[in-house]
Amino acid sequence: MSQTPLIAPRSTREWQSADAQHYLHPFTDFKALAAHGSRIITRAEGVYLHDSNGERILDAMSGLWCVNVGYGRKELAEAAYRQMLELPYYNSFFKATHPPAIELAGLLAEITPPQFNRVFYAGSGSEANDTIVRMVRRYWDVNGEPNRTIIISRDNAYHGSTMAAASLGGMKPMHEQGGLPIPGIVHIEQPYWYENGGELSPAEYGIKAAQQLQRKIEELGPRNVGAFIGEPIQGAGGVIIPPDTYWPEIQRICAHYGILLAADEVICGFGRLGHWFGQQHFGFQPDLMTLAKGITSGYQPLGGVMVSDRVADVLIDKGGEFHHGFTYSGHPVACAVAVRNIRILKDEGIVERVRAETGPYLQKRWRELAEHPLVGEARGVGFIGALELVADKAARRFFPNRGDVGLICRDHCFANGLVMRAVRDTMVMAPPLVMERAQIDELIEKAWRCLDLTARDLKN
């Protein structure tokens, strides 16, 4: 079967020039990129990307933490194609619904922890977190405590880029542009033992970091606080893995004050930590959880909030109309792809494999990188990990201009056929969950070589 290409091919130079003329990229210095030229990714297969120069790149970031089942899954393409022919779009605003949204809702209730039986759909993780802000405030209002409007989050959290989601997030550069955070959102320290733990053991530090929540609640007045939100492991903030003592203490504090606990599972969900959801790795039970990214393995944009019975019962029984929703809430094509994606994760035992087999192997090999002179710590769980690039390993001392060395290393990776991301001087990875042993070996080998190249640059 010969096919005309969907988009007419061009040379790399031509793509770059058209890109610079018409396309403003997200989270990008437009002028600097136009001067440098962007890399044109043309196709992908399994765990590899291909660019317009014919180079093959090992994608240790799953795109943006999302392509959990890997690239090129025909089942997902077919689900989208067939759903588009059957019913490409319909809304669920006015007493209507459709089979893919219903099917996915039931499947999500089945794979999430038992307190979750209902989903509110959104088009992205950001929209889902905006929904959480609206829903928390609505819940307390209906419950007769309208003053409980404040939501507590953490420094360097990433919850998305819309106004409310960026406010929940703790990214200073985002807050500086556009007058954020919006009122009623405050932040406490992130549980970052490597930077903030000092002489404390990780276990001691985990309790100390969690108790900042208690202090903040007391400072704000317990009756003014509606919820706490956190990613089980902070992703974009640098793969910050809290000590095991942290989440149980957070749970205890939320329960003590009756505050809702929201888990942003956008990265940790759908198998990344070797469980369906990150909360199951850490052993806590939230009232709300944010889903996106891995829910479709990135093949379609889709987000959602899982709503526990505690919250749903109040909103359903006493809430009346909830004045909130999106044109693409429960988009049929996205839902059909999500259903197929979740079936792939289940049927192929991908989550179990990450927990029992490939995850432990990746983590064992990843920790070997801590022997490199540049690496102060190599940490990770399942299929997520980070390397701290430091000036002094023994003293846990960072480089003076934090971020410079990370960028050097990231550029070496990209030039040497490997995608890792740099968060300041922390290199992070989150490969597709289908990565196999030989590819893990390739990842470690390439990472070591790029660390060497980075170290060599620092000597010159």
Footprint on this chain of ligand PLP (rule: CB under 6 A): 65, 124-126, 129, 158-160, 231, 235-236, 264, 266-267, 292-293, 303
What's the residue count for the chain? 460
Q: Could you tell me the two tokens for 312?
A: 């749903």
Closest distance between ligand PLP and the C-beta of residue 286, in Å? 14
CA 322 → CA 124, 260, 272, distances in Å?
A: 19, 19, 33
Residue 126 or residue 190: which is nearer to ligand PLP going by CB? 126
Least gap, CB of 335 to ligand PLP (angstroms): 16
Report whether the peptide linkage leading into residue 181 is cis, meaning its omega lies within 30 degrees of zero: yes
| Nearer to ligand PLP among residue 49 and residue 236 (C-beta) | 236
Q: How far is the CB of 269 from ligand PLP (least distance, A)?
A: 9
CB of 128 to ligand PLP, least distance (A): 7
Listed residue (423, 425, 427, 303) closest to 27, CA to CA: 423
In the complex with ligand PLP, which residue's Cβ is closer, 160 or 385? 160
Sign of CA dihedral 109, 115, 117, 119: negative
Residue 266: CB minimum distance to ligand PLP, A: 4
How far is residue 151's CA from residue 144's CA, in Å, rounded to a whole number?
17
Residue 249 φ/ψ region, left for φ over 0, alpha for ψ in the -120 to 50 degree band, beta for the rest: alpha
Considering the complex, what minimum distance in angstroms separates the CB of residue 379 from ligand PLP?
18
Closest listed residue to residue 264, CA positions, set 293, 244, 226, 242: 293
Closer Cβ to ligand PLP, 231 or 425, answer by number:
231
Shortest distance, position 435 Cβ to ligand PLP, whole Å:
19
Which residue lies nearer to ligand PLP by CB, 230 or 376? 230
Work out how close the CB of 236 gets to ligand PLP at its nearest, in angstroms, rounded to a whole number. Answer: 6
Nearer to ligand PLP, 159 or 340 (CB): 159
Which CB sits closer to ligand PLP, 331 or 446?
Answer: 331
The amino acid sitting at 384 is: I
Element holding 211 (H helix, E strand): helix 202-220
Give every strand in the sheet of 426-429, ordered side by side. Answer: 375-381, 384-389, 426-429, 421-423
Residue nearest to ligand PLP (CB): 125
Give 15 or 282: the residue with its C-beta nearer to ligand PLP.
Answer: 282
Other Cβ atoms less than 10 A from the Cβ of 235: the count is 25
HEC sequence for 297-313: CCCCCCEEEEEEHHHHH
Phi, psi of 303 (to 5 degrees): -135, 170
